[in-house]
Amino acid sequence: MDKYTSILDMHTGLTKRKVDAESRISKLKSAFGKNSPLFEEHNVCAYCAGSLGRGDVGQNSDLDLFFITTSPEKDQSHIGEIEMMSVVLKIGNELEYPEFSNDGAFLKIHSSPKMLDALGAPKDDSENLFTTRMLLLLESRSLCNEGIYDEIIRDIAEHYFRDSRGKKSYRPLFLLNDLLRFWRTLCLNYEIIRDEPNKPWRKKNINLKFSRMLTIFGTVLPLITRSEYNLDNLISLTKMSPLQRFALGLDNLNDKTLSNEFREFLDSYEAFLCWKETQDEYPDSNTKFDELSRNAARSFSDFIYKVVTHQIIDDELKKYLVI
């Protein structure tokens, strides 16, 4: 049978988006490269997340940027941060991306030592470290100082795997727990904004049901379909897009009966990406659009549920996803 990774590679629409994303990332890397001494001086790496990081960009995709330094927070230079963010704003304008959301409130440099110290602690949520870390692992692409970027990912992965030494029976429950926590956080965030009149509820809702769900459970699947786990497995997963990880998880299942459903799943995801680009054309009262997207989202999630509860997966791991 065709491998599921091959089926993904042959999907015309998604392949075109991936090529477009690579082109945009190349331009961003070039723009950051012209200012690399400034970022190197402060031990800062930059990465993109969102549709660019996932490799599924559309015509109107915005620029979701994050910044992490290997320096302790107390050693960070405020003037240096201002200089770097000035460069970032200039790059965004020159490459004609939409203005940064929330008036640039998320353009902030995080400290990786602080992030590791907060991992699992209450302040992990309150200081946006949790979201920054999860997006780094789940849907990021390096734009500047890739050596620092790789170093930080390895440090985080080692933290998740710190209890695995010498244990052949080790299972990445700590990591799975954080993935599920992130999913529930995203769901709660949607509930918070859904009734606010000035928030784009439809966009948030449709993102939650497609790209957000794929990002989380596209990573869960390859983790629960492996027989052995190690640090390098996780690091290799971070180099893949959510769709690539999901396809790898399907390959691990080795169930040829899922191929047609997977093709439909990919078509649904491409349809979602097209809806994102045109949804402003539909008024909030458009019942036909809402019904169409709702039915597609239900089929999309049904397939994810079907594969993460597949009979070949260890019952203890399936139980852990629920209890």
Written as one string, the DSSP assignment of 26-83 is HHHHHHHHTTHHHHHHTTEEEEE-HHHHHT---TT----EEEEESS-GGG--HHHHHH
What gap in Å lies between CA 141 and CA 238, rounded to an integer?
Answer: 9
- Asked if 89 and 63 count as a contact pair (C-beta separation under 8 A), the reply is no
Give the C-alpha separation, 277 to 255, whole Å: 34
- Which residue type occupies 95? L
Whole-number pLDDT of residue 124: 66
Between 286 and 227, the higher pLDDT residue: 227
Query: Taking Cα atoms as reference points, which of 52, 56, 48 lies closest to residue 8?
Result: 56
pLDDT at site 164: 72
On whether the CB atoms of residues 138 and 219 are closer than 8 A, the answer is yes
Token pair of 41, please?
């001086």
**Backbone angles phi and psi of 47, in degrees to 5:** -145, 155
**pLDDT grade for 268, boundaries at 50, 70 and 90:** very high
In 3D, which of 116, 137, 318, 130 has the Cα closest to residue 231?
137
| Tokens 């897009």 -> residue | 241
**For residues 16 and 316, which has the higher predicted lDDT (pLDDT)?**
16
Max mean pLDDT range (159-163, 199-203, 260-264)? 260-264
pLDDT digits over 200-236, tens only?
Answer: 556 667 899 999 999 999 999 999 998 888 889 999 9
With pLDDT > 70 as the criterion, what percentage of the chain qualifies? Answer: 89
Residue 196 above 80 pLDDT? no
At 165, is the pLDDT very low, low, confident or very high (cuts 50, 70, 90)?
low
Task: List pLDDT tens digits, range 62-119.
Answer: 999 999 999 998 888 999 999 999 999 999 999 999 999 877 878 999 999 999 888 8
Higher pLDDT, 75 or 167: 75
pLDDT digits (tens, 9 = 90+) for 11-43: 999 999 999 999 999 999 999 999 999 999 999
Which residue from 194, 184, 183, 124 is spatially nearest to 159, judged by alpha carbons?
Answer: 124
pLDDT value, residue 166:
61
Mean pLDDT of the chain: 89
Q: pTM for this one?
A: 0.92
Residues in the chain: 323
**Cβ-contact 234, 160 below 8 angstroms:** yes
